[in-house]
Structures are given as structure tokens and as C-alpha cells.
Structure 1
Amino acid sequence: MKKIIFLALGFPDASKSTNIYTDLIYEFHKNGHEVLVLAPAVNKEDIGLRKEAGVSVLRVKTLPLFNVGAIKKGIANLLLARQYKKALLNNNIELDFDLILMPTPPITLTSVAAWLKSKTGGKLYLILRDIFPQNAVDLRMMKDKGLLHNYFRKKEEALYTVSDAIGCMSPANVNYVKEHNPNMDFSKLHLLPNWENLPVYKEEIQLDSLVNKYGLKDKFILIFGGNIGKPQKLENIVNLAKNCLDYPEIVFFIIGTGTEKERIFNMAKELKLPNVILENKLPKADYNNLLRIADVGLISLSEDFTIPNFPSKVLSYYGNKIPVLASVDLQTDFGTILEEINSGLWAEAGKTGELKDKLLLLYNNPDLRRTMGQHGYDYMKNNLLPDNAYNTILEKTIS
């Protein structure tokens, strides 16, 4: 049994909801390891050390980190390392960890991760899910080679140096880090694809009530659920919907929140698109059941990226045997991997006509949809479950 600390940013109470990080941490817990999670407190009453679904979680008071402006978010992230270190000391946490797990974002926890490594002698494993600050430059949130960029670039380089092993989402991610960090130790880099538990449904799907509730009778459903921000650039999906008005049975169901939500929702409303359904949030049961009856799962990435992103959202589609339609930039290898797995179709972001052609190919071929959905499910079952990530991390850090 090993003692592990996880430096989290987004870590929900697993008794209420889950994400890829709760799935991973509970895989460690299930296998008998002692885990402590450091994470922000959502509410004042959450502050402090407590058990969440059997795992020790130290919730830390921070400034607002989500759904705030870039300046406020930046200040909050800069203060995190000091707040996390202070919380560990104030709660008399024994610093004897064998493994320190840290995902990006953010990279601002580098100093506390390095401090923990020096205090404990444990290995530091970096779960690289956000190549910052370059993604901020791509999205025009930061000036290339400016003072802020240079500051965070040094943080990024320091993080790669102090990490003992670095798990990247895809081959393109590995190659990007190598190309832009030629002086680092390349032996640290390896593949750590996204992971998620397969869905388990105990209740029978209430298809008729769900269809009536959202007006989906006799509709061909494309679904997008998740963050609506600059990286997703959902204008590409709204423009696709605009170009599909000649197929009234095709509907685009968009659910989510984020910094660009109001603008995207307003865009769809101003265009008066009858084939777009917009929802901020849905009951969890409704969303899960929508995934079960959806015909296609949507992925969208901004064409402005120079870094290769890889959307974790695809796992919920794979788990529900839904084929994927993706509008993505040319830096990511997501489209190539879709083709290799034969689990969906893609077009270059911004090329609405090409994306519509791919959609109509799925629309007109139910057998193709079933085949692609099954291929995605099989690939996830064999390669993208939490135990795959767990085993990779242990193999790279603990002999």
C-alpha cells in the first residue's frame, strides 16, 4: 500500500457527482492505497478535512476559480500553491507521501508540488491535460512572448523539470512537448489517454417521457454536453445547425455552462434556429438518458489552437455507443484516432460544408452509426477505463 496525495483543481464530492479525477482516485482507493486529495472548497461549510465516499479530502478556502473573469481567475490560481501549503501545515498533515499526483490545469501548483517532493521524497507524476501558457496565447487571452507569457512559460519548464513522469493524452501531445522543450528529459514522457468508467444504468429508460419533455419525437438527435468556452468554439456547431435547416428532423441539443455560454446561446437565438435546443443544466438522469437515445455525439475544438488538445467528452459518447461527429483543428490527432478506431467522422474546424457532408453520411446510414458506436465502446472498454490509467501511473512511478 502506498500513500498518495492528489493536488486537484476540479474535484467534486464523489457521493454527488464524478469526473475523470474522482474515477482515478477511487481506483487507487479501491486498490488499497491511502489517498489524500487537496481541492478547493465550494462552500464555507466544506472547508477542512473530511471523508468523501471513503476518501480523505482536504477542502481549502480559495478565491473563486470558475465562471469568473480572466483576471480574477488568474489571481485565484496564483494564490493556490500558498493556500494549499498552508492548509497542509495548519491541519498537521504528515508529509510522508510516496506519490504526488498533479494534473494540469493549473501549472501554478508547481511550487507546492516541488515542496512536497522535497519534504517527502515521493515521486511526482504530472497528468498533462492542458499545455499552458500556449493555449492562452492561441485563444488570444495572453500575448505571445509578453511578460505574463514568459512568467508562466518558466513555470511550465520548471514543472517538466521537477516531474518524475509525465502522462500525455495522445501521441501528438508527446511530440508537441518534445518539440517545444528540446532540453527536457524525453524519457519522462509517455501516453496516458483519458479515462472514465463505463456507464451503469439500473433503471429502465423512460424514452417516451424524455422525448415528450424535450420535443424530440421523430428527431435525429445530435448532443453536446459540457463546458462552453473559447476552446470549444461552439460557433462551429451553431453554424452547422444553420446549414441543416433543410433537414427539419435533425436537432442539435446543446447543454452546458462556461465563459462563452451566453454569447453562444444568444447567437442561436438571434439566428432563430428551430433545430437547436439550449439548456444550462439538466437533471443527471435526463442527461444520461439523452446520451442513451442520442444518434450522434458532438465534439468541437477551436481552429485557432497550435497545441494538440484531446477532448475527454468523447468518453461519454463511447460509453453509450454513440458515433462521434467532430469539428476540430489540424493540430490535434483526435480526428486521426477517430478514423483509426472507426468510431466517428470529423472535419476541419470552420469548414461547415464538409462537416455537414459528414453529418449526412451518419444521418443516412444507421448501420454505420451502430458500427461506429460499437467500435468506440469496445475501444474504451479495452483501453480507456480508470484501471488502465492507474496501472500506467504505478508502472511509471512505483517499482
Structure 2
Amino acid sequence: MKKKILYLALDFPNIEKSNNLYTDLMEEFRDNNHDVYVVAPSSEIKDTVISDESGMKVLRVKTSSLLNVNVVKKGIANLLLPKQYLKAIKKHYKNIDFDLIILPTPPITLYKVVSALKKKHKIPVYLILRDIFPQNAIDLGMISKKGAIYKYFRRLEKKLYAISDKIGCMSQGNVDYIKEHNKEVDTSKLHLLRNWQKNQKFKRVEASEIKNKFDLENKFVIFFGGNIGKPQKVENIVALADSFKQNSSVVFYIIGKGTEKDKLITLVQDNKLSNVIIKDFLPRNEYIEMMQIADVGLVSLDENFTIPNMPSKALSYFNMKIPVIALLDENTDFGTWIEDEVKAGFWASAKTPSLLKEKIEFLIDNPDQRKVIGENGNNYFKIHLNPNVAYKTIINSFKNVV
């Protein structure tokens, strides 16, 4: 008999149009003979709707905007989410007997949904731990550790860990962090669940031809794609670009959106940086072309983080065989993982962007080494960071359940 998987999503695009690591994972469950039921938010629909999408049932719930909005709007939307989800599930999934609940962080407010469903169905819960909230909001100066908001969310966080039967952490640093700061958590729940991504199929392009298309002839392209928010600390990206402004052959090409996008544009203008190109959007084929002609892929994290983050955008760089360069806080194990285990790039403390400049200059001067490093990331990615590995990790954590 097929097992029924309920996935509580925060971001779940229509797979026919786009994908992310969570759609990739649910497709893996589907392909391994599970019935997949998804609950996902949408601020763009008039009413809650359920549909068949790529062999999965997807319940899209009418909600307020949860992404790319200010902290107040996001906070309110997250607080309203549990009631909206429970109402939709009760109406559309009321006759479904689920076998497993899977949910990621963020948000932790879905604890209330999980609690109600676990009580009803008597089934295990698997937590995919990505953001460690509310501590990350403390690190970014968004809330105070002495305030009522922190205390409320901290209680929810503890309840979510308690109700989860297994917790997948994206690095050993994350495992160690939870152990140190949550002594009450049963450590047998914790295990490593690295980020994952499908191996993207795309047509390889001739780099020189595409560079001409984008007016980047004879340029060394430092690429940054994805969210542009507080965690990415745009000031550090600008500082790195500023350190190269005397080198006309180096260009920073940034594609993305987020709450700090306008701030990034202003900083680039104020510093009169002609070596930074910022785009809101490129058609998918052009986005892939741009990533292929990139010489390196940039990751940036705020230096004030006390929690070990593992930026998922690195997987796209691995997929495209481009080295990773990273400005990071000193608490994450992402940098040592990239350099020592994957051997796919270099990192420096976000407190000292000039040290990363030296490593970029090494890559500029050594194109053959750049190619080797890019291949290292791609080989590691194919073996260790694919959705099937994540699927097996989750399934194997439960015996005789799913």
C-alpha cells in the first residue's frame, strides 16, 4: 500500500514552471511510490484551491505575502498561517489518513498545525531544519533577546523540536548547535541532512559567444544569484566589489530580489561602482547561460550570525561547475566544508573582505585550477547532494513507518 506523505510548505512553486529543493524532494517521494500531499501558501490567488500538479496533490492556501516583505508584514502573515492551513486541511484533506508529516523551517509557527495533525493521525513528524529561528533574527538585529517576541517564538521553537520525531540538520555545525543550545532535545533525533538539488539538464554554451551577448567580453565574471536580504549583508558584497574597482576586467553580475535590493542599488550608486551589474530577472534560458559563463559564484552571509548557515545557492554553482567564493561569519562550517571536504572554492571572514580578494585573484591568474575546482564541486554534488540521498536519509530515519 502506498504511504501518504503530507508536506507543509512555505515556498512550493508549480513544478511545470519552476522548482526548488523542496519540489525536488517531493518529486523524489512521488517517484518512490508514495502519495504526496502538499499544503503551500499563496498571496496571488483569490481563494484556496486544490489541484493535481506533476502527480501530486497541491493545496494552495490563500494567505498574506510571506516572502520579500518587511519584517512586520512577514511576522503577521506567519502568525496567521497555522489557522489558515488547518482550515484548508480540514476542508480538503479531511478524509486522508497520512503516514508521515514533513515540514521545513521556516516557519516555526506551523507547530500548531503539526500538533493538531499528529494528535489526529498518530503519525511521526520529520523536521527539515534550515533556519534556526528566532536566533537568526537576533543575530541580524531584527528583534531583541529580552523582548516578548523573542520569548514567544523561542517557546514555539522548543515545542517544534519536542514534537518532531526526527530532525535533519544541514551541517554538523547545525547538529552541534542544537545540542549545545537545546539541552532538552533528545540527541537521537538529530542527524545530518545536507541540502540537495536535482542535477539540472541544460545545453552547454560557448562561453566567449555568450559573454559577447551580455557585453562581457574579456571580463572575469563574479556571479551572485538569488535572495538579496539581510542575511546576505549587501554592504559586504559592495565592499568586495569596491576592492576590485581599479581592475576593469572584473565584473560583479547580480540577479535576484529581496528586501535589501534597493539598499544594494543605492550603495552601488553611492560608491560609483561601474563594475556591478544588477538585474531583477532573466528568462530561465538566459539565467542558465549567465551562470555557465560565470567564472566564480559568490556567497555572502552577515558576519554577525552565531548559527551555522549552509547557503543552498552553492548547489547551483556546483551544478554549473563554477568555483564558490564566500564571505562568511566565523561560526558557520560552510567555509571549511567548501575548502577542505568538497574542495570547490575559497572563503574568508566577512570581517576581512580583502582576504577573499586575494583568493579571487588567484583564481583569475589560474584558469586551469579554476576548472579543477569547479569539477570538484560538480562531482561531490552528483554523489552526495542529490534528492535521492535526501529521500533515503529521511526514509531510513524511520523504521517500518514509510
> TM-score, structure 1 length as denominator?
0.97
SS at match of 1:101: strand
Cα offset, 1:93, TM superposition: 2.9
Aligned to 1:216: 216
1:347 and 2:344 aligned = no
Aligned to 1:75: 76
Cα offset, 1:63, TM superposition: 1.3
Aligned to 1:306: 306
**Alpha-carbon separation, structure 2, partners of 1:165 and 1:390:** 14
Cα offset, 1:95, TM superposition: 4.0
The 10-residue stretch of structure 1 (100-109 or 273-282) with the greater mean CA deviation from structure 2: 273-282
Aligned to 2:361: 360
**Alpha-carbon separation, structure 2, partners of 1:54 and 1:206:** 36
Aligned to 2:229: 229
* 1:111-190 correspondence runs (5 A): 111-190=112-191
SS at match of 1:256: strand
Amino acid of the structure 1 residue aligned with 2:30: H
Amino acid of the structure 1 residue aligned with 2:94: I
The RMSD of aligned alpha carbons is 1.3
CA contact (8 A) 2:211 2:293 kept: no
Cα offset, 1:162, TM superposition: 0.2
Aligned to 1:271: 271
Aligned to 2:24: 23
**Alpha-carbon separation, structure 1, partners of 2:176 and 2:191:** 10
Cα offset, 1:219, TM superposition: 0.7
Query: Deviations 1:55-85 (Å, cap 9, x if unpaired)?
Result: 1100001112122221111011011111101
CA contact (8 A) 1:238 1:268 kept: yes
**Alpha-carbon separation, structure 2, partners of 1:359 and 1:204:** 24
**Alpha-carbon separation, structure 1, partners of 2:261 and 2:56:** 33
Query: Deviations 1:81-140 (Å, cap 9, x if unpaired)?
Result: 111010011225324111100100000000101111111111100000000000000001
- For structure 2, list consecutive stretches of 5 or more residues without a partner in the other structure: none
**Alpha-carbon separation, structure 2, partners of 1:206 and 1:55:** 38
Amino acid of the structure 2 residue aligned with 1:256: G
* 1:282-301 correspondence runs (5 A): 282-301=282-301
Amino acid of the structure 2 residue aligned with 1:245: K
**Alpha-carbon separation, structure 2, partners of 1:13 and 1:20:** 13
Cα offset, 1:379, TM superposition: 0.6
Aligned to 1:87: 88
Aligned to 1:255: 255
Cα offset, 1:210, TM superposition: 3.5
**Alpha-carbon separation, structure 1, partners of 2:189 and 2:27:** 25
CA contact (8 A) 2:48 2:88 kept: no
Question: Alpha carbons of 1:92 and 1:219: their partners in 2 closer, same or farther (altered >3 Å)?
Answer: closer
**Alpha-carbon separation, structure 1, partners of 2:325 and 2:204:** 27
Aligned to 1:242: 242
**Alpha-carbon separation, structure 2, partners of 1:159 and 1:398:** 21
Structure 1 runs (4+) deviating above 6 angstroms are none
* 1:188-203 correspondence runs (5 A): 188-201=189-202, 203=203
**Alpha-carbon separation, structure 1, partners of 2:69 and 2:246:** 39
Cα offset, 1:145, TM superposition: 2.8
**Alpha-carbon separation, structure 1, partners of 2:195 and 2:11:** 15
Aligned to 2:315: 315
Percent of paired sites with the same residue: 51
Cα offset, 1:238, TM superposition: 1.3
SS at match of 2:230: coil
SS at match of 2:188: helix
Amino acid of the structure 2 residue aligned with 1:275: N
Cα offset, 1:146, TM superposition: 1.4
Question: Alpha carbons of 1:306 and 1:254: their partners in 2 closer, same or farther (altered >3 Å)?
Answer: same
**Across the two proteins, how many residue pairs are aligned to each other?**
398
CA contact (8 A) 1:325 1:345 kept: yes
Aligned to 2:42: 41
